[in-house]
Structure formats: structure tokens, C-alpha cells
Amino acid sequence: MSTDDSARPAKGSLWHVGVLVRDFDAAMAELSSGVGIEWCPVQTRESSVGPFRLTFSTVAPFIELIEGKGGPGRDASDGPCLHHLAFWTDEFVPQKERLLCAGFDLELEGSAPFGGSFCYTLGETSGVRVELTERTSQLGFLSTWGLTLPEVLS
């Protein structure tokens, strides 16, 4: 195991965990009543397989709850699951290349909704999906969702 900071996407940059669920409303209610999570207003987004809903917890560590609607990367027919670990990065291209060189497969990449680039990669052995997003989109994201980022995550 390496203790070298260059082996990490960016120091302190893991900022949310995405969870894919079949029953979006029931999952929100369960997490709210069970562990006291409060949610941002739900947003509907479009994808190649149609609209889906998502939301974020209001306090870090952030949880992104994603409605599984089928299709590549969003199929929850086998049940709820960890969808991804999300990292901000100041060095998008080198960090993406490091993941690819480590055996992660590139699933999707493009322009982030709030500026900069993003990508999803999937570890073949671990099964862990990693989302990298350029930190340049951080302020737009936080503003849109009405969130603040604790100093430890900035």
C-alpha cells in the first residue's frame, strides 16, 4: 500500500458516494427515518434510457441517491448497490490516465454540467466505479444544490 500522495486522485478529494436504488422514494424515506439524513430537492435528469431522479444529502459526507432506471451504468434490477465514489481533481487528465493504467475501464466521459470535464471508470477486479470531476465545476455544483463543502473536503 502506498502512502505517496501522488497515488491519490487529489488530497482530501473524495466528496460523495453514489448509491443506485430501485425504489427512490422508499430509499429516501428509509435513510431519513433510519439515520436522519436530510435531502436536497430532488432533480430529474435525462439519460439515454429516459429520465431519472437524483438527490444529495445536505451534510457531508455527501450521499448521492440515484434512481435506477435500467440501461448502462444505471441498472438496479438486481437491487440497490454502491454506484460510484466521486473525486474532485485539479489534474483531470493525469488522474484519468492513472486510473486507466491501473486497469480501470473508461465507461463515460464528457463535459460536466457546471464546467470542466468528468469521467466514470470501472475497476474490473474491485467492481468499484470512480467518478472524476474537474474541481473547476465545484462552485457551480455546490451553488446549484445549495450545499457547502466542509474545509476537510475542499
User: Does residue 3 belong to any structural domain of this protein?
Assistant: no
* Residues 92 and 117 sit within 8 Å (Cβ to Cβ): yes
User: Does residue 7 belong to any structural domain of this protein?
Assistant: no
Kindly give the pairing relationship between strand 43-47 and strand 104-111: unpaired
Give the chain's domain count: 1
User: Does residue 4 belong to any structural domain of this protein?
Assistant: no
64: cell is 448521492
Cα–Cα dist 38/127, whole Å? 29
1 has pLDDT over 50: no
Q: Name 52's bridge partners.
A: 45
CA–CA distance from 105 to each of 119, 131, 138 (Å)? Answer: 11, 12, 25
User: Does residue 154 belong to any structural domain of this protein?
Assistant: no
User: Does residue 2 belong to any structural domain of this protein?
Assistant: no
Confidence (pTM): 0.84
How many other CB atoms are there within 10 angstroms of residue 106's CB atom?
A: 12
Residues 78-89 have a mean pLDDT of: 92
Which has more confidence, 116 or 151? 116
Burial track 83-104 (b if 16+ CB lie within 10 A, e otherwise):
bbbbbbbeebeebbebbeeeeb
Is the Cα torsion angle 108, 113, 118, 124 positive or negative in sign? negative
Q: What is the largest CA-CA distance in the chain?
A: 42
Average pLDDT over the chain, rounded to an integer = 87
Residue 71's pLDDT is 72
User: Does residue 6 belong to any structural domain of this protein?
Assistant: no
Instruction: Residue 127: give its domain's CATH number.
Output: 3.10.180.10
Cα–Cα dist 154/143, whole Å? 14
Domain enclosing residue 70, as ranges: 12-149
User: Does residue 58 belong to any structural domain of this protein?
Assistant: yes
Residues 17-41 have a mean pLDDT of: 96
30: cell is 428509509
Q: pLDDT-based confidence at 102, cuts 50/70/90?
A: very high
Cα–Cα dist 32/16, whole Å? 17
